[in-house]
Chain A
Amino acid sequence: MKLLEKASRIYLLASLLIYAAVGIAFFWIIKFMIYDEVESRLMVEKQDFEAYVRSNDTWSNNSYFVENKIEVVPVFGRFDNKVAFTDTLISNRYDETADPFRQLTFYTLIGGSPYRVAIRKSMIESYKLIEAISAAMIAFLGLLLVSTFLFHRVLSGKLWKPFYDSLAKIKDFDWTKNKPLETVRSEITEFNELGDVMEKMASKMQHDYRSLREFTENASHEIQTPLALINARVEQFIQSKDLGENHTYWIEEIYHAARRMSRLNQGLLLLAKIENQQFTEQENLDLSELALNKLKDFEDILQHKEIRVTLQSAGRLRKVMSPALADILLTNLINNAIRHNYTGGELRLESGVDFVQVSNTGNPLKSEPERLFERFKKESTGAESLGLGLAIVKEICDNCELRISYRYEEPVHSIRITV
Chain B
Amino acid sequence: MKILVVEDEKGLAESITDYLSREGFICEVANTFWQADEKISLYQYDCTIVDLTLPDGNGFDIIQTLKKIAAATGIIIISARNTLEDKLKGLEIGSDDYMTKPFHLSELNARVKSLIRRRNFGGNNDMTWKDIRVNLPSRKVFIQDIETTLSKKEYDLLLYFLSNIDVALTKESIAEHLWGDNMDSADSLDMVYSHIKNLRRKIVEKGGKDYIQSIYGIGYKFTAP
Contact = CB atoms under 8 A, between A and B. Distances in A.
A221 B218 contact: no
B15 A236 contact: yes
A233 B15 contact: yes
Contacts of A262: 102
B186 to A, nearest CB: 5
A228 B101 contact: yes
Interface string B160-192: 000000011010110000111011111110110
Interface stretch (A44-52, A82-90, A300-308, A346-354): A300-308
A220 interface: yes
Interface stretch (B25-33, B64-72, B77-85): B77-85
Contact of B170 (A228, A255, A335): A255
Interface in A193-234: 217, 220-233
B23 to A, nearest CB: 11
Interface in B73-119: 79-82, 84, 100-106
A300 B179 contact: yes
Chain A interface size, as a band, is 35 or more
Interface stretch (A20-28, A96-104, A107-115, A243-251): A243-251
A385 B190 CA distance: 16
A338 interface: yes
A237 B194 CA distance: 26
Interface string A360-393: 0000000000000000000000101100000000
Contacts, number: 119
B84 A324 contact: yes
A258 interface: yes
A143 interface: no
B104 A227 contact: no
Nearest to A227: B102
Given A225-B9, A245-B216, A335 B185 contact: yes
B18 interface: yes
Query: Quick one: which of A224, A226, A300 has the most chain B CB within 10 A?
Result: A300
Given A224-B102, A228-B103, A255-B170, A236 B215 contact: no
A239 B167 contact: yes
Given A221-B81, A255-B172, A304-B191, A338 B185 contact: yes
A225 B186 contact: no
Given A221-B81, A229-B9, A229-B12, A235 B170 contact: yes
B185 A225 contact: no
A259 interface: yes
Given A238-B170, A248-B215, A232 B188 contact: no
Chain B interface size, as a band, is 35 or more
Contacts of A226: 9
B2 interface: no
B217 interface: yes
Nearest to A294: B182
B209 interface: no
B53 interface: yes
Contacts of A316: none
Query: Quick one: which of B82, B105, B153, B217 has the most chain A CB within 10 A?
Result: B217
B217 A231 contact: no
A268 to B, nearest CB: 13
B199 to A, nearest CB: 14
A335 B180 CA distance: 13
B225 interface: no
A225 B191 contact: no
A382 B219 CA distance: 20
Contacts of B84: 324
A161 interface: no
Nearest to B173: A235
B3 to A, nearest CB: 15
Given A232-B105, A235-B105, A252-B218, A225 B12 contact: yes
B80 A225 contact: yes
Contacts of B101: 224-225, 227-228
Given A222-B80, A298-B183, A384-B186, 20 more contacts: A220-B82, A225-B80, A227-B101, A227-B102, A228-B80, A228-B101, A232-B11, A232-B15, A235-B15, A235-B106, A236-B15, A236-B19, A238-B168, A238-B170, A238-B215, A248-B218, A301-B191, A304-B187, A384-B185, A385-B185
Interface of B: 9, 11-12, 15-16, 18-19, 22, 53, 79-82, 84, 100-106, 153, 167-168, 170, 172-173, 178-180, 182-188, 190-191, 194, 215-219
Interface of A: 217, 220-233, 235-236, 238-239, 245, 248-249, 251-252, 255-256, 258-259, 262-263, 266, 297-298, 300-301, 304-305, 324, 331, 335, 338-339, 382, 384-385
Q: Shortest 3 CB-CB distances between A and B: which pairs?
A: A232-B15, A228-B102, A224-B80
24 contacts: A220-B81, A221-B80, A223-B80, A224-B102, A228-B102, A228-B103, A229-B12, A231-B105, A232-B15, A233-B15, A235-B15, A235-B173, A238-B168, A238-B215, A238-B218, A248-B215, A251-B217, A252-B218, A259-B172, A304-B191, A331-B182, A339-B187, A384-B184, A384-B186
